[in-house]
Amino acid sequence: MAKDKKMVEAITSMEEDFAQWYTDVVIKAELTDYTSVKGCMVIKPAGYAIWELIQRQLDDRFKAAGVENVYLPMFIPESLLQKEKDHVEGFAPEVAWVTQGGLSPLQEKLCVRPTSETLFCDFYKKEIESYRDLPKVYNQWCSVVRWEKETRPFLRSREFLWQEGHTAHATYEEAEARTIQMLNIYADFCEEVLAIPVIRGQKTDKEKFAGAEATYTIEALMHDGKALQSGTSHNFGNGFAKAFGIQYTDKDNQLQYIYQTSWGMTTRLIGAIIMVHGDDSGLVLPPKVAPTQVMIVPIMQQKEGVLEKAEELRSKLAEKVRIKVDTSEKSPGFKFAEQEMRGIPVRIEVGPRDIENNQAIVVRRDTGEKTTVSLDELETVIPALLETIQSDMFEKAKKHRDENTHVAENWDEFKNIIETKQGFIKAMWCGEEACETQIKDETGATTRCMPFVQEQLGRVCVHCGKPAKAMLYFGRAY
Amino acid sequence: MAKDKKMVEAITSMEEDFAQWYTDVVIKAELTDYTSVKGCMVIKPAGYAIWELIQRQLDDRFKAAGVENVYLPMFIPESLLQKEKDHVEGFAPEVAWVTQGGLSPLQEKLCVRPTSETLFCDFYKKEIESYRDLPKVYNQWCSVVRWEKETRPFLRSREFLWQEGHTAHATYEEAEARTIQMLNIYADFCEEVLAIPVIRGQKTDKEKFAGAEATYTIEALMHDGKALQSGTSHNFGNGFAKAFGIQYTDKDNQLQYIYQTSWGMTTRLIGAIIMVHGDDSGLVLPPKVAPTQVMIVPIMQQKEGVLEKAEELRSKLAEKVRIKVDTSEKSPGFKFAEQEMRGIPVRIEVGPRDIENNQAIVVRRDTGEKTTVSLDELETVIPALLETIQSDMFEKAKKHRDENTHVAENWDEFKNIIETKQGFIKAMWCGEEACETQIKDETGATTRCMPFVQEQLGRVCVHCGKPAKAMLYFGRAY
C-alpha cells in the first residue's frame, strides 16, 4: 500500500542528518513544539500521554520500594542555595532569579529550583530529631529550570519535567544501598518498560553531581552512536547534613549527622525512546509506553458494515489493549503514514473482503511485518504480539548497542575507533582527572561511567600508559 | 478506651477557635508544614497522597469527557501577559517576576504563571488554522504562583498545585456547553468523591474572572458557616481570541475568531475536606480520598498470634480496600488517637480475646460507632461500611449546609441573620454592582453565586428595594 506522500516526504532520513531527523520526528509526531518562551517547549497531547505512562509505571515501582511522594516549593532563597559550597558552584551559573513579587522588589532574591537538595535539607532539618524519624524516602514530580544556552526538545530545555527523590538515612551504608537500589530501579525500568538497554556504573569524580560523594548513572546508546545519560543516583554522604546542620539523636542518645541521597529521571527519556527506536517513517513506541497500542484502519469505510465491524473489534479488544479506530475522512494510505509517524505499535487493517473472509491484516510497526489473522483469534493474537514487539525491540536495541561497543587497548586504537566508528569505547584508565580531560580535549569523547561489571582489558591506561585503575565506557554524548 | 493525652490535648476545639483548630489539624495530621520560603508550604506524604487520589479520580473523569493533558511553560513573557487588558489588570499586581537568567539580566522579564490563558492563546494561535483543528480540549496539572500577602495552608499560598483546563471552540454555544459541562464534572466530583455538597451557579460581573464573559462556580459551606469557592469554569467568548488574533477558516472558507473556556480546581480542595468533615479529634477523610481506608490496631500485640492474625486480616482485605496494620511500639490508645487525627475512616481492633471469639471490633471514624464483627464477615462488611460512611458523610454535610442556609426577604432580616447566625443567605438582588458593593461593605458578606436553581423569594432587591433580577447566595467566604 502506497504511503501518503505529503506526510512522509517531510521527514529527513536518519542517515542524511540525524539531528534534523530527530527534530522532524518530534514535530511531525506532534510530541512537542517550540513556544514564544525562548528555550521552553510545550509538550503536546501525544508527548504528554507518553510521559503519563512513564510516570505511572515508574511511580508504581517507587511505591513498591517504599517511596512516598511530597511537594516542596519551587523557589529557593539565595541564602539556602549557598549553604553547600560545591552545590552552589555547580548550579548558580544556570538558575533563573525571581527578584520581584507583586509590585515590590524582594528583600532576598529567590531562584526557581534547578533541583531541590537544599530545600529537602531545610525540610529534613525540621522533620528529623531522632533515629525513629529515619529513614525518610521522599520523592516529588515537578518541573525544574536550568538556564541553558543551547536547547533541544526533550534533551535539553530551560524547563523540564522530572521526578527527584531525596532520602535521609542513619548510616552511610544505608544511604549507599538506597542509591544503588534506585539506580537499579531506573535500569530495570528502562530495559523492561522503554525497551532500552543500559550500562549501569559510576561517574568519575570529574563527571559527578555538584555536592555528591558518588554519582551512579545509567547510560544508553542512541541510534547515531552517541550516548545519553538516562538517569542518575547520588550518594551525598553527610556533606549536606554538615553544611545544613541536620543531626539526629541515635539509640545511645548521641547526636549524629544524617546521610542523604538523591536520584532523578526526566522527560529526556522521551528523547531516548525516539533516538533508540525511531526510523525513517517516524516514531516507534514500545507497547508499554504507547498511549495507543493498536490502531484499526478501516478500508473502504463507506461500504456497509465496515465501520461497524471495526468498532466491534475495538470494543472486544479494549479490555486488553489501548486501541482506537481511525474513522477520519483521510485516505487509508494517509492513515497508515500517520499511524507509523506516531509510532503506534500495531495496525489492524479491515475492509469488506477481509470481513467476508473473517480475517484482518495485522501490521507490526517495528518490523513492518504483515500477517493475516482470523477475526476470532485477534483477542489472543494481539496482546501476545504486543509482548513480542516489546521484547524484540529490546533485543534489537541491545544488538545495536553491542555491535557499536568497541574495545580500545591502546591510544592508536582509541583514536582510530573515534575517527572511523561510532558508539561506546571500552578502555582502561589510570584514574587521573588530567588524563580524562586530555582524552576529551583530543577526541570529544567523555567518560560515561565505570561500569559495575568491570573487565580486565589490559594493565595500563589507554591514554597515558600508567598503571590502570578501572575500565571505563567512553563516548560522545548528548 | 482512653485516648493518648499527648496527641489530643494539642488540638484546639473547633468551637473555641476554628482558625486555630484548622491550623492544628493540618500540622498534627501531618498534611503540610511551613517552609523557609515565605508564603509557600510543603505538602507532606499524608497530604500529597490525598492530592494524588483527587488527581487520579478527577483526571479519569476528564479523560472520559474527552480532555487531553499537555504541559506548557511556567514562564510568561511580560508582553504576552499584557495582551488582554482585563486579564493583565487582574493578575499583574500579584505575580512573581524573573529578571535574571543564569548570570545575565533578561531582555524581557518573565512572570511565573499565575494561570495560563495567555500561554494557551499563544499555543492555539499556532495550532489552529481550520475548523478541522477544532475543538481543542486540553488540560494541564501544574503549580502556579500568586504573590499573596496573607497566606493559609491549602487555602491561600504563594504557590499552589492545580489543574487548569483550556479549550478552544468554533462557536460561542459550544464553548458555553463545555464551560457548563466542566462545572458539572467538578460539582459531581465534589459530591461523589469528596462528599461535599455544592451550590452550582454563576458569579456576578463583579466577582467574575479577569477577562471572562461568564464565570461559573461551585460553592461549599464549611463547618464554621463560611463559604469556600471550590472550583470555577469560565467562558471567555472570543475576547482573548480577538486580543491574540486567533482565527480559523470555517467550512465556507471564512475567517472566524475562536471561542475559549478555562476551568480549574486546586489543592484548596484539601482545605475544604478538612473544614467540612473534620472534628475535635482531627481529620475525617471520605473513604474515596483516604490513602489508608482501614487501620488495623493489634491489642496486646506482644501476645502470640496477635500480629500474625492482624497481618492475615490485612492481607485478606488488601484486594478490596487500602489497609494497613499499625505494628509500631506505641500503646493502643496512642494508635487510636493517631488514626483518628489522620482521619482514617475505619479502625479494626483485634486482640487475644477477639481472636478467641473469632471476632474484631470495628470503629467508624465519622460517628465513633463500634460494632463487633465476625472475622469471617470482615471481607464483606468492611467494603460495604466504607460505602455507607461515604454516603453518610455527604448526607451529614448536606444537612449542615441546609440547616445553615437562610432566606432573607428584607434588609432587616439580612442584617439580623448576619449578626446572629452563620451560613449562606439566599436573597433577591437588583442586579446592580453598586448594591452588591454596599452589601459587602455593610456586612462583610459577598455574593457567592446566582444559583442555576433559582427561587422566587420576593419581587424586590433585599437591599435597595428596586425590582429584583435574580436570586443570589451571599456569605462570608474564605
The CA-based angle A317-A322-A328, given to 5 degrees, is 90
Percentage above 70 pLDDT, chain B = 98
| Residues B95-118 pLDDT 10s | 999 999 988 999 999 999 999 999
Q: Is A122 on the interface with B (CB under 8 A)?
A: yes
B101 contact residues in A (CB cutoff 8 A) = 96-97, 147, 158
Cβ distance of B77 and A37 shorter than 8 Å: yes
Burial category of A372 from C-beta neighbours within 10 Å (exposed 0-12, middle 13-18, buried 19 and up): exposed
Q: Is A72 on the interface with B (CB under 8 A)?
A: yes
What is the average pLDDT value for chain A, to the nearest integer?
96
Cβ distance of B97 and A101 shorter than 8 Å: yes
- CATH code that applies to domain A292-389: 3.40.50.800
The C-alpha of B461 sits at a distance from chain A's nearest C-alpha, in angstroms, of 38
Taking one residue from A and the other from B, the number of pairs with CB-CB distance under 8 angstroms is: 146
**Residue range B59-71: mean pLDDT, rounded:** 98
Amino acid found at A414? F
**Residue range B398-423: mean pLDDT, rounded:** 97
How far CA B314 is from CA of B38, B60, B294, B349, in Å, comes to: 42, 28, 9, 12
Alpha carbons A231 and A216: distance in angstroms, whole number = 8
**Residue range B222-241: mean pLDDT, rounded:** 97
Alpha carbons A243 and A418: distance in angstroms, whole number = 42
What is the fold, at CATH topology level, of the domain defined by B405-475? Translation Initiation Factor IF3 (3.30.110)
pTM of the predicted protein model:
0.96
A-interface mutation test, from B33, B34, B37, B88, most A Cβ less than 10 A away: B37
Select from A69, A97, A123 the Cβ nearest to the Cβ of B99. Answer: A97
Half-sphere exposure of A424 (CA within 13 A, CB side): 25
Please name the helix (run of DSSP H) or strand (run of DSSP E) that holds residue B362, with its range, or none. strand B359-364
Select from A70, A99, A158 the Cβ nearest to the Cβ of B45. Answer: A70
Helix axes of A45-64 and A172-192: crossing angle, nearest 10 degrees: 140
Letter string b/e over residues B418-446, b meaning 16 or more CB atoms within 10 A of that residue's CB = beeebbbbbbbbbbbeebbeebeeebebb
pLDDT score of B7? 53
pLDDT score of B9? 61
Residue spans per domain, chain A: 5-277, 292-389, 405-475
Segments of chain A scoring below 50 in pLDDT: 1-6
pLDDT score of A4? 43
Cβ distance of B75 and A99 shorter than 8 Å: no
Cβ distance of A147 and B96 shorter than 8 Å: no
ipTM score of complex: 0.95
- Comparing alpha-carbon positions, the chain A residue that sits nearest to B98 is A98
- Comparing alpha-carbon positions, the chain B residue that sits nearest to A107 is B38
A37 contact residues in B (CB cutoff 8 A) = 73, 75-77, 110, 119
Alpha carbons B336 and B330: distance in angstroms, whole number = 10
Q: In the numeric block, which cell numbers belong to residue A321? A: 489493549
Q: Chain A window 78-107: which residues touch B at a Cβ cutoff of 8 Å?
A: 80, 93-103
Cβ distance of A37 and B161 shorter than 8 Å: no
Annotate A232-291 with three-state secondary structure: EEEEEECHHHHHHCCEEECCCCCEEECEEEEEEEECHHHHHHHHHHCECCECCCCHHHCC
Give every CB contact of residue B90 below 8 A, 6+ residues apart in sequence.
B209, B210, B211
How far CA A392 is from CA of A191, A195, A222, A272, A398, in Å, comes to: 12, 9, 17, 17, 10
Amino acid found at B433? E
A94, β-bridge pairs: none
Q: Is B69 on the interface with A (CB under 8 A)?
A: yes
pLDDT score of A7? 54
Select from B69, B103, B123 the Cβ nearest to the Cβ of A52. Answer: B69
Alpha carbons B354 and B360: distance in angstroms, whole number = 6
Beta strands (DSSP E) in B187-258 are 199-202, 214-221, 227-237, 247-249, 255-257
Cβ distance of A145 and B119 shorter than 8 Å: no
Q: Is A74 on the interface with B (CB under 8 A)?
A: yes
pLDDT score of B1? 35
The C-alpha of A160 sits at a distance from chain B's nearest C-alpha, in angstroms, of 9
Letter string b/e over residues A287-317, b meaning 16 or more CB atoms within 10 A of that residue's CB = bbbbbbbbbbbbbebeeeebbebbeebbeeb
CATH 3.40.50.800 fits B292-386, yes or no: yes
A74 contact residues in B (CB cutoff 8 A) = 40, 74, 112, 143, 145, 159
Beta strands (DSSP E) in B267-358 are 294-298, 323-325, 346-350
Residues B162 and B267: beta-carbon distance below 8 Å: yes
Cβ distance of B73 and A98 shorter than 8 Å: no
Alpha carbons A172 and A176: distance in angstroms, whole number = 6
Q: Is B248 on the interface with A (CB under 8 A)?
A: no
Task: Specify the CATH class of B5-277 in words.
Answer: alpha beta
Q: In the numeric block, which cell numbers belong to residue A209? A: 553531581
Report how far Cα A424 is from the mean position of its chain's Cα atoms. 18
